[in-house]
Structure 1
Amino acid sequence: MKPMIYLDNAATTKTAPEVVDAMLPYFSELYGNPSSIYTIAGKSKEAITASRETIAGVLGAKPEEIYFTAGGSEADNWALKAAFEAYKGKGNHIITTKIEHHAILHTCEYLEKERGARITYLDVDEDGVVKLDQLENAITPETILISVMFANNEIGTIQPIKEIGMIAREHGILFHTDAVQAFGQVPIPVDEYDIDMLSSSGHKINGPKGIGFLYIRKGVKIRSFVHGGAQERKRRAGTENVPGIVGYGVAARRAAETMRERTQKEIQLRDYMIQRINAEVPNCKLNGHPSRRLPNNVNFSFEFVEGESLLIMLDMEGICASSGSACTSGSLDPSHVLLAIGLPHEIAHGSLRLTLSDETTKEDIDFTVDKIKEIVKKLRAMSPLYEDFVAGKTKSMIQ
């Protein structure tokens, strides 16, 4: 069996050994319900408090502003739905972008169809960056919320979050950011960036699955999302996922402490991979901003190639990656993100996302690029479109 090269860390990450070790006692020894009054219950409650303080410290937030959820999607749903309900007396207008995660887009669709919200979906430029003048022009007296992701999960582009936060603050509008891909990868000082709400997920930073948080700035009038007990200061009822919360705290501390060294390494490998692919694979295009992107994100489109076939053949070589195309989920439509940055359907279908980790080596990158070159050549040899291109009957659509 071939050794595995895992390059899909934007999808999920390996749970770090120290995270697992920290979680284990809360499954079998310190398993008390944090709402109870005996000793092991108190230990669980103390552990939750410690993790809350750790995560707040990473953001420069207050511990009481961190609310634990079951993941990033729940946090996104909570932020949008609760903000709409709480502020609908002021207006019904929400501004977001065309490249958001579906947790945002589908929630906006629900609010639009079922709750009477009016949604503006902002365009982005060819690098996936929000146009700040369009954002300002979209604001109306009825605008109650701006939700723009910190960094895109497919193409890695980092948005001008500080500037967006400033615009929102100047207009007295709530600002939410989906930071699922960014938390632990780049510094996020919530006060400096005027962020009112922020979503995150544990399994993106070597933490466990099934745990996330929503940061809610003190003073923001957000209603309860789950009704029941008094957990999470009566805003999110239900017995806490103590092992998950403990693991997330350890993962957050680990990510913060290693961020500088880890991301410098990832950037070097990322840029090396981009340079090699650009130089050695003809008719390809880097998607996303060339430099203002997540440290570990590489996303390319390969002309005359189907992303699904490329993924399958890479998997046969032991390389785990993902495609910019949604074909692997049964859809014939390409990624909404790639279409939003202006790629034609034919090019968007041939996209590949490779996301690195601190365990990725230069040897992994070299092996992967060599295999990409080999597989792309094989797939193009079977493509009638490529045959026409070589014969001069058609032109490349990649500029």
Structure 2
Amino acid sequence: MLPSSRRPPLTALSLLAVLLSLGCGARAVDEVPPGPAPRIWTLRHLRDQVTSGRALPAGPGAFAATAWVTARGQPLPQWSPPYHRQARHQAPDRDGFNILPAFSEGRPAAFAVLEVWEHVPEVWVQPWYVLVTRYDAAQPDAHRLEGALPVVDIGEDSVFYSPFWELTYVVVPEGTPPDRYTRAVDLYSAGLPMYRGGGLLAPLGPLDVPPAVAEGGGAPLRPLSGEEVGTPATGEVWLRGRRVTYLDFGTRAFTWSTKAERYGVVDEAALYVFALPDASGRPVSLGLPAVLGTGPRGSVRRARVSDSGAPRFGGLTRPHLALLPPGAGPFVPSELALLKASLRERGVTVVDAHPTVEHLAEAKDYVLRVALNPECFKDLVGFPQVCRWMDSQAAVEANLEPSALLPQDVLFTSPMLQFDGRKLGP
């Protein structure tokens, strides 16, 4: 048997099987605390929600699936009124997941919501088995078995499903047929050597829901600034003897705990969505770019980035409705006149910017960024340095009372597609 450091952890499903074999099943079920049943809304489910027109029951400030997926031929949310005078529509031949503008660590960013974890307190990594003929720790993918697909054991229909995978390299003999192993159980039965690798963010799901692109457009773009964003690769994997498709967002999109008592728990980050109460007193999103944090709420964590500068946070986020403080307001250029009027009707402070400020080269990076002192938008000399921006986790948590940050009982699978002008992808 291999040393424990070389053997991947038991999956949640196999751990449950062990408990049942020991006669622990009934007791475990009896001890489950009462409460809402957990549910995972995958990309396939979100697309179905859009076509049915139903909202997701996600607690206070319930989210609608149309915020994340746009059906073919329908208006794209942040490319249509009140953001623009004329509506732009999703391409007529396919549905698309929306590109969502955000700010993170004081810089422009963009992300997407691919999955929603409702009433799920934490998410675990699961093994993603890669067949190789020889294992080289310095270049683990150098000797992949030609023509072989990866193998996984947990699919979308399982409550243990996760799009956050721990790469596990399985050494097979030279000459092994590429379709010899199509089930994880067969890999273990054969007693093949296994080695842990890095992570992979790869939601299982349909390939006909790519990033949203306006009709007649080319590459997917970040709303508001119009910058091109990254797109996922696609592929197939064996799932218990059948081929299923997945979207590949790369190996550097998230991290997880390596502590023995919490091994495999994916690190989440806070996602702050600016909101104000509606007429009934219920907090509702204002439709401004979210602020994407680097760790859980209240954590003091430096942004973890790869050697190439790509962020290693944001793949799993917990949304919080952040009540906009009195007097704070977003930078709204005059060309977004409809949006200005809409925000003012909702009680948001909107200050008309100096005309020259609006035409500065860097102004596109500040569109709808929230400042505590929006009068700074009139300061031609001081803008943007004199503005007190709410564009990082530290700034939001330092300037809002804890009671103004309302956590939602959901988690998002939320791959970042752009960060500080850089396209992100596999």
- TM interval, shorter chain, is under 0.3
Structure with bigger helix share is 1
* TM-score scaled by length of structure 2: 0.22
* TM-score scaled by length of structure 1: 0.23
Q: Structure with the greater relative contact order (CA < 8 A, sep ≥ 6): 1 or 2?
A: 1
